[in-house]
Amino acid sequence: MRRQILDRALRLFAEHGFKGTSLHDIAVEARCSKASLLYHFAGKDAILAELLTPPAESLTALSGELAVLDGDRAVEPAVTGFIGLALRFHLEVKIIFAELPDMLNHPVLAVIPQAVDQLADALAGRSQEPRARVRAQMVIGGVAVTVASDVEVEPDTMRTELVQGALRTLGRPTS
């Protein structure tokens, strides 16, 4: 039942946004009562937090791995690692980019922005130049939006093209 609730809530949040989805909507989709949702979860926020915990932890883990690599060597792992996570959690990515700004009160979600900042740092090759920061931001946005959109492409084609596209964006021709 918990699984069912989380599964349906994930789809609804991704489609209509967090604020755009009511507990009633989730209950109908999961074929249970609204009160049942609140038996399994402390509240609506708790459902979102539990949904976004796996991608948040994976992202912070990636940031940790990248932190030990210096400048140039961090770029390619950052690209492939981020794209891997984005593809794996594409629905969660859609939720995060849609309405994260308000949800930052919750401790689980608060770690996401700083992890993204560290990711941007790695993508920029530890450079503080404005031009490098812009490139990094373009990669993050491009990957996130593309993964969240419903372009009909085979998964491996999508992955390779995202990686190559990101590397070109950063001015790093494909090796």
Partner DNA sequence: GTCAGGGCTGACCGATCGGTCAGCTACGGT
Partner DNA sequence: ACCGTAGCTGACCGATCGGTCAGCCCTGAC
Give contact residues for DNA (rule: CB under 7 A).
1, 21-25, 32-36, 38-40, 43-45
> Is the distance from CB of 126 to CB of 71 less than 8 angstroms?
yes
Task: CB nearer to a copy of itself: give 51 or 166.
Answer: 166
Q: How many CB atoms lie within 10 A of CB 48?
A: 23
Q: Token pair 């941007």 is at which residue?
A: 120
Name the minimum Å distance from CB 142 to a copy of itself.
3
> Is the distance from CB of 33 to CB of 25 less than 8 angstroms?
no
> Is the distance from CB of 8 to CB of 26 less than 8 angstroms?
yes
Number of H helices, E strands in the chain: 9, 0
Closest-CA residue to 139 (of 58, 88, 76): 76
Task: CB nearer to DNA: give 23 or 108.
Answer: 23
Q: Is 126 a residue that touches a copy of itself (CB under 8 A)?
A: no
Binding span for a copy of itself by CB under 8 A among 28-36, 42-50, 57-65, 161-169 = 161-169
| Partner whose footprint covers residue 114, from DNA, a copy of itself, none (CB < 5 to 8 Å by kind) | none
Name the minimum Å distance from CB 21 to DNA.
7
| CA 160 to each of CA 21, 25, 136: distance values in angstroms, whole numbers, following the listed order | 34, 37, 18
Q: Is 127 a residue that touches a copy of itself (CB under 8 A)?
A: no
Q: Is 128 a residue that touches a copy of itself (CB under 8 A)?
A: no
Give me the residues that bind a copy of itself (CB under 8 A), please: 15-17, 19-20, 97-99, 101-102, 130-131, 133-135, 137-146, 149, 151-154, 157-158, 161-162, 165-166, 168-169, 171
